[in-house]
Chain A
Amino acid sequence: MSVRPMGLDQSGTVVGNRPARLSTVPAHLWRNSAAVFRRQPIATVIVGVFLLVGALAPLIAPYDPSKIHMRDRLQGPSRTYPLGTDEYGRDLLSRIIHGARIAFQAGVIAVGIAMVGGVLVGLIAGYFGGGVDYVLSRILEGLQAFPVVLLAIAITGIVGPSVRHAMIAIGIATIPDFARLTRGVVLPTKQLAYVEAARVIGCGDARILARAILPNCVPAITVLLSFSIANAILYESALSFLGLGAQPPQPSWGTMLSTAKSYMFDLPSYTIVVGLALSLTIIGMNLFGDAVREVVDPLVKS
């Protein structure tokens, strides 16, 4: 670990009167990315394609996802419609491409909320300990007793179904994961000599947390990130499937599947292609997460 409290010279005396700069910016980002790719080339490609498609959806999609072609409704895959059409004759490929965008947003926003909230709570609980830790930990335990889907169902059911609410609900329900993980890293880290050193040279709590302790949590958080995004996408699609997330005509994969269900007799390919897009994305994310874990986590590596 390259933890080097700058501001101390070789003999350990404080240089200058500025507070020490504690920096552990991951210097091997590129090397790590290459290592992840070597371990899981297919998964990395899937994740890459998903991100690209999500970002460039309007440019890639052959049709407008909401354009209705009533005469061509419920068609199987053909040359004009590579994956077929839905109940309004809308091009399925285009809808799936735009669905990637919704899934991507859902993953990023939900996990963003969970990460910011969870890391903050975890840092505070782990660092200050005592009563603060006790109260925060009990609250987290209580929150964790609610399955994410149920909590999200309750929240979206009450504030009204929409993708935004679904994302926020999933984010809140995922906070305990990040909080407990961060707290787990903070507890041993705050005992380390360099944290002690930072305190000795006069760093305040906020500075120690941000510059000395938080960087130590980054590897663990990185690992949790990709799994959480996969889960958030899964939950968003489940909520939309139940009618509590994205609303028609939004091309969310979950919403599409819940409509496709009714046409399973006439057009099974409808259900199959949408489900495959969703499944492939999540499989890719999970494999990618595995590779990230292997690269980042020194315990697994050895």
Chain B
Amino acid sequence: MRSRLFRRPNAKIGAALIAVMLIAAVFGVMYTPYDPIINNLHLRLVAPSGQHWLGTDEWGRDVFSRLLNGASISVFVSFSTVLVSVAIGALVGALTGYFSGWPSRVVMLFIDALLAFPSLIMALGVIAVFGASSTGVIIALSLTYIPAVARVVRANVLSLREKEYVEASRVMGNAELYTMLRHALPNAVAPIIVLATALFGWALLAESALSFLGLGVPPPESSWGGMLADSRNYVSDAPWLAIAPGLAISLSLLGVNLFGDALRDEFDPHMKNLV
């Protein structure tokens, strides 16, 4: 299965771009050439050079170092969002799919209502409550994506419930909850992985959009969206400030999208219309 996936050129390019992003994120935590936070006003708006590969910003901070630091924040926020929304969404989806009855219907009513919010708008509403911070972004985005995960998992579990092997487990006298967790849910893993990959991309984009709006990761912490927002004041003097973070977001997203597409085609061509 794995070797077949990587025979697709898109999967290779996607995986390579994701790898670069992850390596940058690791460096962002472990080692950056300069301090990404501390100001150095002697070095304001220095153009890219051998010393500062991507130049410096209006506070004299090294753009490359901030880019690495931003990678770790983006990856951390996106990954946490995926983890939280898949864990809760899959549980809700599996329970409502496996156990029919009025509690399931009520829960689905709420899930459908949550889906009625345009996703970025809902995230903005949640942030209005929790305040702008990494945690705020993770909570806001998870709440936004849980309904989508619940929907997909529920649809899968609904059809798996009718399968003979699930029936068999029930006939053998296994508890319903055990049957669901042991036999129904594991068979819904493939679509969950495909969805989780897509979610990672959405979260990455949404996090940078929120930071761009000033409602995401607060300064002085570096985030790609925030760096882009700051660059707007210097577009004519220091265009490099707008190029580097934008390219970083776009290439990371391209990687996730390419890999996600390949994964989806590999696992389940019928998912095309769902995600």
Question: Are A and B co-members of a single complex?
Answer: no
